[in-house]
Chain A
Amino acid sequence: MPGKTLRSVFYLWLVFLGVLILVGALAYLRQIDGGLRVTGLSRNLPWGFYIAQFSFLLGLAVAVVMLAPPALSLKSGAGFRKTIMLGEFMSIGAVFAVLLFILADLGQPQRLLNMLLHPSPASPLFWDMTALACCLVFNLSAAWIMLDCERQGATAPVRVKQLVRLSLASVVGCYGLAGCLYAILPGHSFLGTAFAGARFLAAALCSGPALLLLALLLLRRIGSFRPDPEAVRILVKIILWAAVIHLFIYGLEFISVLNGMLPQHSHPLLACIFLTGKNAAAGIVVSLAAALGLLGCLAFLFVVLSRVRNSDASLSFALCCLLCYIWFDSNSGFFYGVDAFGGMNTYAPSLSEICVGLGVYGCGALLVTLFWRAALKGD
């Protein structure tokens, strides 16, 4: 594609993001003005869309972090490192979006710093915050080291590699602890298994690399960057394994729920299958479950059929399915919940919430775009 068209595509994309951000900002102003009553949240289901995006994006950010060690240890070319570096930048964008989602969710956003003034390690949210901070520091330093290596044409010294591994462990550990957040919520008992943390991690390991790979394929298509084939191969491998583990854990969860049939586990599940919820809005839950099932099957096909993986178009399609599947999966737990009285509640985000969400995604994407633009200037 000639440079001129490329540039107009780029500006069109910027305008699109600008519109998203504007819509989000307006909706957020409205929310600041009226309070969280403009959301679809309620006393019985106080968490929803924002928190779901928060955990989805945090997972995404953490997952991309895991790609750094091979990039640092492989002696192979600068192309590989560069590809992974794009991933680091994507992770920074995701962390930024996570922060914005936290702000959007708080009733008193101006008191956010209380989390630092009164740190409470007993709270899983503390570990979310730590994972976030580790992730940010890690990404910035890894990107910096890689840039440095590239400039000097050498691989990173052993000490740096060890440091990278250590911080990687801390990021993953904190994320795992944060994943246990749902285990203590009586209202979301379907999420409340010891598996939840592991399942979230596996889902994250799918979604992060999948989004990166999708973006890389897009870049290749519009002709602005040739991702390193070795990097693409490794990404596909990671996504495959993570998808297998995720689906496996999911299967185990279903089977243990259906075998045990403990009311607090099986009721939410059965309610969403057989519409036994007390709320008429249970329709959302059903369509959600259907979408999940369908996308899960498609994702599974991607995992088993190697032919799908080897063509660009079908790979992109499979990745899209996979991303949607993970997105729905990380959202689905929030669309229904059992209250303290055994009543089934459903929730749907309001238009205002969706607009704010789009705006935040727009901000994250804008940041990533600008980073990538700077990183790819020479190509």
Chain B
Amino acid sequence: MKKRRRFLELAGMSFLALVGKILQPDPVRAFSLSGVGRVHARTLKAKRWAMLIDTLKFNDAEKFAVVIRACHSFHNVPSIAGGQEVKWIWKDTVERVFGEETADYKAKGLQAGDCLLSCNHCDNPACVSVCPVGATFRRPDGIVAMDYHRCIGCRFCMSACPYGARSFNFSDPRLHIAALNPDYPARARGIVEKCGFCSELLDRGEMPLCVKASDGAIVFGDLADPDSGVSRLLSKRTSIRRNEKLGAGPGLYYLI
């Protein structure tokens, strides 16, 4: 009898919670790391954030390692070996990354070797349109952000992303983090994650971690502003983006 009453109480409360959730006028992404709501005095703002990676300055393995470590250790990205790995920023060979484009660009000076990869924060992100719950969304400033508390773990975005930028937590990430950083939340098992252009740092007026660790090899700024560092560099140097013919409009440029 008691059990049944308890069950009814629980069921009633869950129903109320559900109704409350539906009636809520504007779904506040309270837990998202995007920090949309918080406006800081020093907040860095832009119309379209973009990142430039100077491939000529990434010439030794240590350089890659420093940048990758800076991101992964702060963001509690687990290090898992094999096919179920999780990565936000990583390196791969130019041949694999630029595939069909390589032949065209060799003439322009695209060096063989490794290059840095991450989420491209696309203009037309496939991951956003396929998400069945709106857990991945594009902010007005061009950052493709995620609500890790809404993700149901269907992995459609992973299949749809043409740049292989997304990772799924097949197992509990906490088991694979050497030193947990208490300043950044670790994710739960069973959800997808990726680079978020360090939006929480931008809110505090700081540049993304990889930019800070790169010693000038990565430049970050507003593509819509003709006077920004990225715009000026782009007008001066040759650059390529990954698989442009897809029309995704990646926000990551490679200076060659």
Taking the closest CB of chain A, its distance from the CB of B148, in whole angstroms, is 10
Residues of the A chain whose Cβ atoms lie less than 8 Å from the Cβ of B215: none
Size category, A interface = 35 or more
CB contacts under 8 Å to B, within A104-138, are 105-109, 111-115, 117-118, 120, 122-126, 129
In the complex where A107-B169, A125-B132 touch, is A114 in contact with B96 (Cβ < 8 A)?
Answer: no
How many chain B residues have a CB neighbour from A under 8 Å? 49
Does A317 touch B at the CB level, under 8 Å?
A: no
| B163 / chain A contacts, CB cutoff of 8 Å | 340
Instruction: Mark out the residues of chain B between 156 and 178 whose CB falls within 8 Å of any chain A CB in the assembled complex.
Output: 156, 158-165, 167-172
Q: How far is the CA of A47 from the CA of B154 in the complex (A)?
A: 9
Cβ of B130 and Cβ of A43 under 8 Å apart?
no
Assembled-state Cα–Cα distance A34/B169 (Å) = 11
Structural contact, B85 and A43, CB atoms closer than 8 A: yes
- B84, B99, B159, B171: residue with the most chain A Cβ atoms closer than 10 Å: B159
- What is the interface of chain A, defined by CB distance below 8 A to chain B? 34-37, 39, 41-44, 46-47, 105-109, 111-115, 117-118, 120, 122-126, 129, 184-188, 263, 339-343
Kindly state whether residue B190 has any CB partner on chain A within 8 Å. Answer: yes
Min CB–CB distance A275 → chain B (angstroms): 20
Given the known A-B contacts A43-B168, A125-B154, are A343 and B129 also in contact in the complex, defined by CB atoms under 8 Å?
no
List the A side residues contacting B191 at CB < 8 Å: 107-108
Q: Which residues of B contact A185 (CB under 8 A)?
A: 159-160
B152 and A47 contact, CB distance less than 8 A: no
Q: Are B152 and A46 in contact (CB under 8 A)?
A: no
Q: Which 6 A-B pairs have the closest CB atoms?
A: A107-B153, A107-B190, A42-B83, A340-B164, A125-B132, A37-B170
- In this complex, what residue of A is CB-closest to B172? A35
Taken together as a complex, chains A and B put the C-alpha atoms of A86 and B150 apart, in Å, by 39
Can you identify 21 A-B contacts, CB atoms within 8 angstroms? A34-B171, A35-B169, A36-B190, A37-B170, A41-B155, A41-B170, A43-B164, A46-B155, A107-B151, A107-B155, A108-B152, A108-B190, A111-B151, A113-B18, A114-B152, A117-B21, A117-B133, A118-B135, A184-B160, A339-B164, A341-B92
- B45 proximal to A (CB < 8 A): no
Does B47 count as interface, using CB distance less than 8 angstroms? no
| Closest residue on chain A to residue B190 by CB atoms | A107
CB pair A343–B96 under 8 Å, yes or no, is: yes
Which residues 114-154 in B have Cβ within 8 Å of A in the complex?
126, 129-135, 150-154
8 A Cβ contacts from B166-216 to A? 167-172, 188-192
CA distance A181 to B83 in the complex (A): 24
Cα separation A118 to B150 with both chains bound (whole Å): 9
B 1-38 binary contact with A (CB < 8 Å = 1; else 0): 00000000000000000100110000100000000000
B70 sits at the interface (CB 8 A)? no
Contact with B153, one of A39, A106, A129 (Cβ below 8 angstroms): A106
Q: Are B132 and A120 in contact (CB under 8 A)?
A: yes
Query: B134 — which chain A residues lie within 8 A by C-beta?
Result: 118, 120
Query: Which chain A residues lie closer than 8 Å to B246 at the CB level?
Result: 186
Please state if A129 and B170 are interface contacts (CB–CB under 8 Å).
no
In this assembly, does B100 line the interface, its C-beta being within 8 Å of a C-beta of chain A?
Answer: yes
Tell which of A105, A120, A124, A263 has the most Cβ of chain B within 10 Å: A120
State whether A118 touches B133 (Cβ < 8 A): yes
B156/A43 in contact, CB under 8 A: no
Chain B residue nearest to A107 (CB atoms) is: B153
A42's contact among B84, B100, B171, by CB below 8 Å, is which? B84
Residue ID in chain A nearest B154 by CB atoms: A106
Q: Are the CB atoms of B168 and A47 closer together than 8 Å?
A: no
Question: Is there a chain A Cβ closer than 8 Å to B97's Cβ?
Answer: yes
CB < 8 Å neighbour of B189 from A43, A107, A117, A122: A107
Instruction: Beyond A35-B170, A111-B133, A111-B152, list 5 extra A-B contacts (CB 8 Å).
Output: A35-B190, A106-B190, A107-B151, A108-B191, A341-B99
> Within the assembled complex, what's the spacing in Å between the Cα atoms of A347 and B153?
19
- Contacting pair B158 A46 (CB below 8 A): yes
Residues of chain B within 8 A (CB-CB) of A342 are 96, 99
Set of chain A residues within 8 Å of B164, measured between Cβ atoms: 43-44, 339-341
